[in-house]
Structure 1
């Protein structure tokens, strides 16, 4: 109240005596309380009857006690009939009313006439316990729709007589900003006469802020703990994050190994992870040979850029960690950067998860980690998925949510998905880099994660397959047509070939030597 610096709650061990009429003759007079005048906060205590029953200078710092009304601490004796006093309970006043003797009393709690009382620290009579894994005076973050359950117990000790004690006398709950959080309490007693209280805190939607909940056990200062203060922040926790669950189990060493062939399990690593070429960029809609993305993977400024054939490819592509460096060792790639799927560290990324073509309905799972606890990402954490290199030839399918899509897609400018039962189909080749984000309004945090899939052993790109199929079809059709012609015209191709071969053999024999025969005949004659 005004005029008092602080207040102390004490247990009265010895009764305070009431001031007698000899020490304070004013108690035999009728008292009237008048409101303050001007800027003063002190009330006027007026004696209605003049005479010997008046205020004395020794009444300074005494307390006027009026049962059922506020008490007054006398701060000034103005004259014999008037004094000024500060009200201890300004909301409960009995003004402009005559209070006869015997209906009001005077106590000497002051120090002017020598202090007649003392305050001592009581022994510890209560212990307070907290039943959860939160540290003492912890800071707890609450996201949208989050719920926090707390439980405390105050146990009496060093109490001679066991009796029922009201909740207000042993335990108090104080919290600020009640509009920020929905706080509900439940108090009860157990068989040991311990006072237990359950506190349930719900986060309200779309309202950020900070508040505190103080659990105060009204015990002695000699107790180890008398107050527990919890700071609750209705905002995003620094430890809350979203993660993609890999479809294959790998270890960090598998991603960081330099030479896979030198490892004992090198073949297993090669089946799961794809070593990206140096200065690699994924294909574009124009084909594998025309990369247009700005992101390099496994960058090395000292080596030529891969597939840097066309003008558009030469004019695109920017280094990040390797910008302004002359070789890869100067890029400053750490192990965390090499393990990260973030596009911000694509220069350092050396490997990607390998899958064979085609990828059909690959399940997608995500988790949310917060303060060491992990839960599956489910609705209402609706998500959006984009390919950071603007690649196509992929499709995500899942549960139907047509109404939500109709309501939000024109605002988000991208397609909306339900994380429950989500799967992806990829019909393209080589590296796909996806970014998954939760929509605004489901969390105070901007939750997102990225993952990469390298599609290996893919068929020839268009129009390679079409050309091979067309040529094969034409060749087979030509063979069938020739066979049909031979059959229709009864052409015996085998006899024709034998005659052709025999004729070739006859033509290849040397002619007879007639000159030598003629010379023999002439000699005989």
Structure 2
């Protein structure tokens, strides 16, 4: 019996099953018999598929030198089809007692347990820092995490006075998914400007090391706070995209996860969602991450207003200075206002300030 057989992408065969050590018990039949049809396995095995729309099967049977008939089955799932089916292998006339001798193979096309995509920050951050990091203990320019205030408007912390009343578990505090955003206390911090911020995406499977996410796991990226002042760029889509795009229509741009980067033109919190396109895996592969952009310049038009006011003030001062110079010269004022004396205190010297 074969259970829970699945792969990461299609059309790679789900499984290749070899059935051996099954000897034909037909009298007068065997490897020395003259019946060529039996040697090819036409009368030894009969394969029946319960759900032929789910999988495709290629079978090949042969005799080995010891007189054992071997059946090879190559099972391939159809594109983006989930479910399970039973494959029945029947051996006619294999028993003198039972009218039918057969055994079943159960093939399940589903997502394997523990398969997911993972985002990692450019700098490794320990679990303790995510939970207990205090940015006040670091210099502002060296802080790697930003403390987030409690919104109290949505989801977990709705109508709660403090985050302690939200019932957040440790897993919720470490999760970047939007349903636990009220429990999130820390977020990765970068300083403005943010250009070509490289995203490190990995494919995680149970009991296996992380693998870098690459084609054909093409992804879609979106910002969950409806912010538009950002741009995502990636390397050129390879030819495998041409084989996939005929199966679905996308409303957003597709990106190759290998070399995917973003540029952020605003400040404060960004919340992104990465989604692997359908059809390349039986799993719904989704990951979310947050970035806080700090130390931005003055927003438009305040920067220009400050520059303009400074220029006007400096110009007014220069004009006023030359006006006074012209006034003193015209009326022949011999003692300008900047010539003054400071009366010394007892026991000190006199200091004179001249032009």
Shorter-chain TM band: 0.5 to 0.7
Counterpart for residue 275 of structure 1: 147
CA distance in 1, matches of 2:260, 2:334: 68
Could you say which structure has the larger radius of gyration? 1
2:300 pairs with 1:462? yes
Post-superposition offset of 1:321: 1.4
2:4 pairs with 1:139? yes
2:117 to 229, 235, 242: 242
2:160 pairs with 1:322? no
CA offset digits 1:63-105 (Å, max 9, x no partner): xxxxxxxxxxxxxxxxxxxxxxxxxxxxxxxxxxxxxxxxxxx
Counterpart for residue 336 of structure 2: 500
CA offset digits 1:186-217 (Å, max 9, x no partner): 55677888766554322212544321346789
2:149 pairs with 1:149? no
CA distance in 1, matches of 2:339, 2:173: 75
Q: Is the CA contact 2:6–2:14 (under 8 Å) kept in the aligned structure 1?
A: no
Q: Which has the higher contact order (CA 8 A, sep 6+)?
A: 2
Q: Is the CA contact 1:140–1:231 (under 8 Å) kept in the aligned structure 2?
A: no
Counterpart for residue 50 of structure 2: 176
Counterpart for residue 389 of structure 1: 225
CA distance in 2, matches of 1:497, 1:320: 76
CA distance in 2, matches of 1:185, 1:454: 56
CA distance in 2, matches of 1:195, 1:501: 118
Q: Which runs of 5+ in 1 are unaligned?
A: 1-135, 158-162, 221-225, 280-295, 300-317, 510-525
Distance 1:227 1:275, change over 3 A: farther
Q: Is the CA contact 1:170–1:217 (under 8 Å) kept in the aligned structure 2?
A: yes
Post-superposition offset of 1:332: 1.4
Distance 1:195 1:423, change over 3 A: farther
Q: Is the CA contact 1:154–1:217 (under 8 Å) kept in the aligned structure 2?
A: no
Distance 1:354 1:385, change over 3 A: same
**How is 1:46-445 mapped onto 2 (pairs within 5 angstroms)?**
137-141=2-6, 144-152=10-18, 154=20, 168=41, 175-186=49-60, 198-213=72-87, 229-237=104-112, 239-257=114-132, 259=134, 271-276=143-148, 278-279=149-150, 296=151, 299=152, 318-373=153-208, 375-399=211-235, 412-445=250-283
CA offset digits 1:307-351 (Å, max 9, x no partner): xxxxxxxxxxx2311234444323211111111111101110001
The TM-score, its normalising length taken from structure 2, stands at 0.67
Post-superposition offset of 1:390: 1.5
Distance 1:189 1:250, change over 3 A: farther
CA-based RMSD: 4.7
SS at match of 1:348: coil
Counterpart for residue 36 of structure 2: none
Q: Is the CA contact 1:272–1:354 (under 8 Å) kept in the aligned structure 2?
A: yes
Q: Which runs of 5+ in 2 are unaligned?
A: 24-29, 33-38, 96-100, 345-355
Q: Is the CA contact 1:144–1:443 (under 8 Å) kept in the aligned structure 2?
A: yes
Q: Is the CA contact 1:180–1:203 (under 8 Å) kept in the aligned structure 2?
A: yes
The TM-score, its normalising length taken from structure 1, stands at 0.48
CA distance in 1, matches of 2:163, 2:339: 72
CA distance in 2, matches of 1:153, 1:502: 109
CA offset digits 1:136-177 (Å, max 9, x no partner): 6422245653432335464699xxxxx958575988765433
CA distance in 2, matches of 1:201, 1:207: 13
